[in-house]
């Protein structure tokens, strides 16, 4: 199987959550680690616990290291943070976890707010109005230049690629979300496909820098990001896609809300068929779910419906294209 459905969990996921994931026919989990959990013993214990539910860690990440202000903005303490990142690569490599995630957005995902939208039937999902997001104040005290941000990325790559190579752990680079050229005074690294080409060049074409192809981000920017179908074919053929975020939105910017796959503006079945036709070899997840309802199984419960729907589209696409 070239596309492997996955769900994201924290190490604190209860046993019944793991059983629920197993019963959904999911084999792979993306493991969210807290900084203090990045040790060989901890990851090994997680692997053993997950194995009891026939689950495997397809990748792992640590949010404070994935979205790190000091590294992204080149603050005085960045070398210490990069050292922590390298230590994470070593721990993951020794545990045979094949990749981790990076997203060059020191302020994380920017949205207007969470709200029940026109398409969510009362579900609380993320809503984004470009005018409101662009009006947010400077987040880092001053405006940064594009060259500074790319220089910081190059500095990071030069210091982590040797460790990534030594331990054979790849990095999946996620676009800035929303994919706008500059947010809160900080230029975005990845807001169209040309940016990806520049990032890959910073890694000297190393296979250890790959892509987290977030369909949601491509759809948020519309044609301004790139030709989604062509990019799926191109980057699948290059083996650059390590992970797919299978997410729909109501419309391209300037205003969108995050929707169920079947409710947004894109034809998600056509997109799934493009990944299957391209023999994309990657894990695939729904990215974001609606906010969990109390008593309904937390994030795993909230993600279950959309994950099942995604699996259905994948199964249908494989049958239609004769790739079962
Ligand atoms: Mn995403």
The 10 Å Cβ neighbour count of residue 96 is: 13
Distance 45 CA to ligand 1 centre (A): 28
Q: Are 177 and 139 in contact (CB under 8 A)?
A: no
- What was the pLDDT predicted at 233? 98
- Domain parsing of the chain, residue ranges: 3-320
Distance 84 CA to ligand 1 centre (A): 24
Distance 2 CA to ligand 1 centre (A): 20
Distance 11 CA to ligand 1 centre (A): 20
Q: Which residues, 6+ apart, have CB-to-CB distance to 87 below 8 Å?
A: 38
CATH class in words for 3-320: alpha beta
| Burial 266-287, CB ≥16 within 10 A → b, else e | bebbebbbbbbbbebebbbbbb
- What was the pLDDT predicted at 269? 98
Distance CA 220, CA 267 (A): 14
Distance 5 CA to ligand 1 centre (A): 15
DSSP 194-251: HHHHHHHHHTTT-TTEEEEEEHHHHHHHGGGT--HHHHHHHHHHTT-EEEEE--EESS
Distance CA 145, CA 182 (A): 9
Distance 216 CA to ligand 1 centre (A): 6
Distance 8 CA to ligand 1 centre (A): 12
- What was the pLDDT predicted at 271? 98
Q: Which residues, 6+ apart, have CB-to-CB distance to 324 below 8 Å?
A: 318
Distance 214 CA to ligand 1 centre (A): 4
- What was the pLDDT predicted at 224? 95
174 sits in which H/E element:
strand 170-174
- What was the pLDDT predicted at 250? 98
Distance 215 CA to ligand 1 centre (A): 7
Distance 76 CA to ligand 1 centre (A): 29
Distance CA 117, CA 259 (A): 8
Distance 154 CA to ligand 1 centre (A): 23
Strands 241-245 and 209-214: what pairing? parallel
Distance 99 CA to ligand 1 centre (A): 16
Report pLDDT digits (tens) over 267-284: 999 999 999 999 999 999
Distance 175 CA to ligand 1 centre (A): 8
Distance 267 CA to ligand 1 centre (A): 17
Tally the C-alpha atoms within 13 A of residue 89's C-alpha that lie toward its C-beta.
Answer: 26
Chain centre to alpha carbon of residue 279: 20
The three-point CA angle 111-79-210 to 5° equals 55
Distance 213 CA to ligand 1 centre (A): 8
Would the pTM of this model clear 0.95, i.e. be above it?
Answer: yes
Distance 247 CA to ligand 1 centre (A): 8
Distance 116 CA to ligand 1 centre (A): 20
Distance CA 116, CA 131 (A): 19
Q: Are 50 and 61 in contact (CB under 8 A)?
A: no
pLDDT averaged per 10 residues in sequence order, the chain, 324 residues: 93 97 98 98 98 98 96 98 98 98 92 95 97 94 97 98 98 97 96 98 97 98 96 98 98 98 98 98 97 95 98 98 94
The three-point CA angle 234-236-240 to 5° equals 100
- What was the pLDDT predicted at 1? 54
Distance 238 CA to ligand 1 centre (A): 20
Distance 295 CA to ligand 1 centre (A): 26
Strands 124-129 and 113-116: what pairing? antiparallel
Distance 217 CA to ligand 1 centre (A): 6
Name the one residue in this structure whose structure tokens are 């699996």. 311
């Amino acid at each position: 199987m070239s596309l492997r459905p996955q769900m994201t969990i924290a190490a604190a996921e209860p046993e019944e959550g793991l059983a629920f994931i197993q019963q959904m026919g999911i084999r792979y989990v993306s493991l969210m680690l807290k900084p203090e959990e990045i040790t060989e013993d901890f990851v090994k214990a997680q692997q053993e616990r997950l194995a009891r539910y026939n689950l495997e860690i397809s990748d792992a990440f640590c949010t404070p290291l994935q979205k790190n202000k000091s590294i992204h903005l080149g603050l005085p303490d960045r070398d210490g943070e990069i050292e922590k990142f390298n230590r994470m690569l070593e721990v993951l490599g020794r545990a045979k976890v094949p990749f981790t995630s990076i997203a060059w957005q020191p302020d994380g995902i920017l949205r207007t707010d969470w709200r029940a939208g026109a398409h969510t039937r009362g579900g609380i999902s993320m809503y984004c109005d470009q005018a409101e997001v662009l009006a947010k104040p400077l987040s880092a005290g001053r405006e940064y230049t594009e060259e500074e941000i790319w220089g910081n990325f190059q500095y990071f790559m030069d210091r982590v690629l040797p460790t990534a190579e030594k331990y054979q752990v790849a990095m999946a680079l996620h676009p800035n979300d929303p994919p706008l050229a500059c947010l809160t005074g900080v230029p975005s690294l990845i807001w169209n496909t040309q940016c990806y080409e520049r990032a890959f060049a910073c890694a000297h074409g190393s296979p250890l820098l790959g892509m987290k192809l977030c369909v949601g981000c491509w759809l948020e920017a519309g044609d301004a990001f790139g030709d989604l179908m062509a990019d799926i074919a191109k980057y699948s053929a290059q083996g650059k896609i390590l992970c797919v975020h299978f997410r729909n939105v109501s419309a391209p910017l300037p205003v969108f809300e995050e929707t169920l796959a079947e409710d947004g503006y894109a034809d998600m079945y056509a997109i799934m068929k493009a990944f299957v036709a391209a023999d994309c070899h990657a894990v695939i997840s729904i990215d974001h779910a609606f906010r969990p309802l109390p008593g309904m199984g937390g994030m795993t419960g909230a993600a279950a419906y959309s994950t099942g729907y995604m699996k259905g589209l994948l199964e249908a696409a494989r049958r239609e294209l004769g790739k079962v």
